[in-house]
Amino acid sequence: MTKFEEDLNKKMDLKEVPMYFTQSGCSMTRKTYIETNWVFDTYKNWHSDEEFQELFDKYSNLNDNYEKEVIKSSILESQIIVLKSQLQQQALPVVPECVGSWIECVKGKNNNALALLDDDNMPDDVNEWLFFQRNDENINLILHAWLDGYTVEKPQLFYLKHIDMSKSDAHLNWYLAKGTDNVLIHQGIKKGKSPKLKCILKLTQQEIDSMETGSYELVPVEDGE
């Protein structure tokens, strides 16, 4: 017997089922019928316990899958935003600090890209970078920076360690530093330690090239120093 039959018989035993009677001709035989409308109204949404559990498991699984897909979609969307930002950052041209300042200067005056390449007030270092270093490549680079934005390159900085003084001292390395009234001096730093003192000079390669540094060793400045 099915669950449906069990449920219907139970209702009949409890006299919950409306019925009507018919009589055939003159016979005293009576036939009993369950009212059809009552059956339809009562059992139109009926499911057995097994069916209900099966449907519950099915749609619960769908809900779980939906939630998982929503989470995956959210994570994917966040990753896409990060990747777009990284790609945009990577795509920006990298220019020296002097070139970045020159771009902002021209934009502030007349906002004309042509003035980047033809201006009597162009700084010498920008002029050298544009016309004496890789020429066409740097011209294209500065125009790209004007149109799309740019990042400023960080020049490598160096400490200058005096070779002879450091060799002759068993405990200290001696670095070029700035003393009182901007007088150049040498500052001793314990061997094996980084020369992070504020007074010790940090110089670009361009600045070093303009100096007599035959007696010095170039020590790169690490990020964060």
pLDDT in tens, 181-196: 888 899 999 998 989 8
Percent pLDDT > 90 in the chain is 17
Distance CA 115, CA 109 (A): 9
From the list 191, 99, 207, 96, the residue with the least C-alpha distance to 158 is 207
In which band, very low, low, confident or very high, does the pLDDT at 40 lie, cut at 50, 70 and 90? low
* pLDDT number for residue 222: 85
Average pLDDT over residues 121-132: 85
Does residue 29 have a pLDDT over 50?
no
Q: For residue 49, with 0-12 CB atoms within 10 Å meaning exposed, 13-18 middle and 19 or more buried, which class applies?
A: exposed
Rounded to two decimals, the pTM is 0.42
Structural domain boundaries in the chain? 3-43, 50-91, 95-152, 157-220
In this predicted model, what pLDDT tens digit does every residue of 187-225 receive, in sequence order? Answer: 999 998 989 888 999 988 888 888 877 789 999 988 767
Q: How far apart are the C-alpha atoms of 194 and 220, rounded to whole Å?
A: 11
Q: What are phi and psi of 161, to 5 degrees?
A: -95, 125
Please tell me the predicted confidence (pLDDT) of residue 210. Answer: 81
Q: At what angle do helices 124-131 and 136-148 cross, to 10 degrees?
A: 120
Place of tokens 């009552």: 38
CA triple 75-77-80, angle to 5 deg: 110
Once rounded to an integer, what is the mean pLDDT over residues 157-174? 93
| Alpha helix segments (H runs only) across the chain | 3-13, 36-43, 49-91, 97-109, 124-131, 136-148, 163-168, 205-209
Q: So what's the pLDDT on residue 133?
A: 66
